[in-house]
Structure 1
């Protein structure tokens, strides 16, 4: 990823926004099925409810979703992220570049902490833009019987729960925590490892090196934030008992999950998350890098 020690000028910001948007769009198209699998596994409890299909792992979830709901079900809920992904990713990378100069802490060049703090702040602000889209996406992904239309879900949520913390912004505290922690590790680990590993002079080796580092950094960041992601999915998804709100607040959701399902319950969906976020994060960071350089060369 290009590292800029100064605040971006207008053309540079233009390239960063476009590069971030293009890379985000590409990543969501390729890895959305894993997001569906992750959400299904995080929503389910320790034991299946009567008549509910239970998933024992990511591969089992893939097979059962395909068998009972069809191939297209693996892309359930893709419309909300597609609608928001391009501007969201663009805005996040732009904010990340803008915030970096404020976190040098006296160092002449950006450090790993600089990248981590800037990424964490950008991810936190991003949460307030994407929470309604995340809520709609989880609602669509959780439904096993049919493909819910995006606008119908939005209208239903607004009509019954409103716009606030009980409605479109349900789960916002869990999303803020997840994004802040994930992006702190995501950008921090990536740049720390990249600066530590000698840069290869061969173009192909350099690309492979970046992919491996980005995938490893994404996986580590996922490990540190998956508990909050699980809490977010449970708060935003359908409640276990209809008409009864079991998961409402982040900390209480984590406590309840730990009490009922043990330590492993806090890491539900980790396998699917790493399968998605590892290669997905690698694709995102590396494609951002190359999209950015391409746009600069083309002077678009």
Structure 2
């Protein structure tokens, strides 16, 4: 029964994750571009509000559509859906497996006169951390490709702008007009974003760093395992509190409604996102194309190098770029995911029970 429960949670997690991903993907694309945008810190700069560091979410989405079409908002969607299905499936499967073990251990401890038979907050943290670590190690290559595809147009535009700037500078330094420089400038102005698919992104990553390149950003990603750990600690503890409250009031039905799951999921994800956002920015920077800043100060050889350069050249605000977008996207996505997942688990278990009863008849 516990095995089928784990499989049901894995399938439901994958299904819920895909739906949530499709709905919120444009926000995710804009957020990744915000995270990988480099801005030198100003002298005597105080910590600004997120709205002051970047244009509004809707404005940025409009800009992407204006210059790249609607497809620009969905760059990398195919590998992202694969990654979401794999990530959510793997995570929820292993989460349920280790959750079942944690519940069994708690029950065994109660029989020995230790504990009340329930899993504590630390137990939920450990369960979520193990499941999250396995998920990161297995799916990191997919997310490297997704990040590359989401930021490719942005990177190409910066490279072109750098070339234009060099040509303008060369033209201003010439005493006699050079028509070839203007021709080159016109050629650059006519450049349109090139098609950039999954295979292209994979070849680019491999040519830059070999097989190791597909695990760029894995260290901050592993540290970020604490994000779902915090999320699920809040989530499970909140659900436990709701059920206990209803049981204390002697309600016959202690089940949790879809709306309650949505709200609890939103609160859980909000707390986890605010706590771990700087790590997400570092991960995105490492996975994006390194030419994206046009300066060696914005190219990173590893996690520690990225941290030092971000602190030196951008200051604390650099670690919180696009946080408002991420909060909107991740909280909404998590809420939808939790709500759909719980309903899918119920449906899968009902279907499984019906199948079993038909076999025994």
Q: How far off is 1:47 after superposition?
A: 5.5
Kindly indicate whether the alpha-carbon contact (under 8 Å) linking 2:6 and 2:94 is maintained by their aligned counterparts in 1. no
Instruction: Tell me the secondary structure at the aligned position of residue 211 of structure 2.
Output: coil
Structure 1 residues 241 and 15: CA distance shift in structure 2, 3 A:
closer
Deviations 1:36-79 (A, max 9, x none): 0110000001269xxxxx95242332121122211121111111
Kindly indicate whether the alpha-carbon contact (under 8 Å) linking 1:76 and 1:147 is maintained by their aligned counterparts in 2. no
1:193 aligned onto 2:238:
yes
> Could you list the runs of 4 or more consecutive aligned residues of structure 1 that deviate by over 3 angstroms after TM superposition?
102-107, 197-205, 240-245
1:218 aligned onto 2:289:
no
Aligned to 2:33: 40
2:304 corresponds, among 230, 238, 251, to 251
Structure 1 residues 208 and 297: CA distance shift in structure 2, 3 A:
same
1:168 corresponds, among 197, 211, 214, to 214
Q: May I ask how many residue pairs the two structures share in their alignment?
A: 285
Aligned Cα root-mean-square deviation (Å): 2.6
Q: How far off is 1:212 after superposition?
A: 1.0
Structure 1: unaligned runs, 5 residues or longer: 1-7, 49-53
Flag the structure with larger Rg.
Answer: 2
1:181 aligned onto 2:194:
no
1:84 aligned onto 2:83:
yes
Deviations 1:57-104 (A, max 9, x none): 423321211222111211111111212322321121110111122486
Structure 1 residues 225 and 66: CA distance shift in structure 2, 3 A:
same
Aligned to 1:297: 350
CA distance in 1, matches of 2:255, 2:229: 28
1:276 aligned onto 2:329:
yes
Structure 1 residues 23 and 262: CA distance shift in structure 2, 3 A:
same
User: What aligned pairs does 1:25-104 form with structure 2 within 5 A after superposition?
Assistant: 25-46=18-39, 55-100=54-99, 101-102=101-102
Deviations 1:106-159 (A, max 9, x none): 541223332222112211111111211111111111122344111121123223
2:144 corresponds, among 132, 135, 141, to 135
CA distance in 2, matches of 1:263, 1:243: 19
Aligned to 1:114: 123
Please, which moves more after superposition, 202-211 or 213-222? Answer: 202-211
Aligned to 2:319: 266
Kindly indicate whether the alpha-carbon contact (under 8 Å) linking 1:174 and 1:232 is maintained by their aligned counterparts in 2. yes
Give the TM-score, by structure 1 length: 0.86
Kindly indicate whether the alpha-carbon contact (under 8 Å) linking 1:138 and 1:236 is maintained by their aligned counterparts in 2. yes
Q: How far off is 1:207 after superposition?
A: 2.2
Greater relative contact order (Cα < 8 A, sep 6+): 2
Q: Which has the higher helix share?
A: 2
CA distance in 2, matches of 1:204, 1:147: 49
Structure 1 residues 148 and 202: CA distance shift in structure 2, 3 A:
farther
Q: How far off is 1:205 after superposition?
A: 8.5
Q: How far off is 1:263 after superposition?
A: 1.9
Q: How far off is 1:202 after superposition?
A: 8.8
Structure 2: unaligned runs, 5 residues or longer: 42-52, 110-114, 154-192, 356-361
Instruction: Tell me the secondary structure at the aligned position of residue 56 of structure 1.
Output: coil
Kindly indicate whether the alpha-carbon contact (under 8 Å) linking 2:5 and 2:96 is maintained by their aligned counterparts in 1. no
Q: How far off is 1:235 after superposition?
A: 0.8
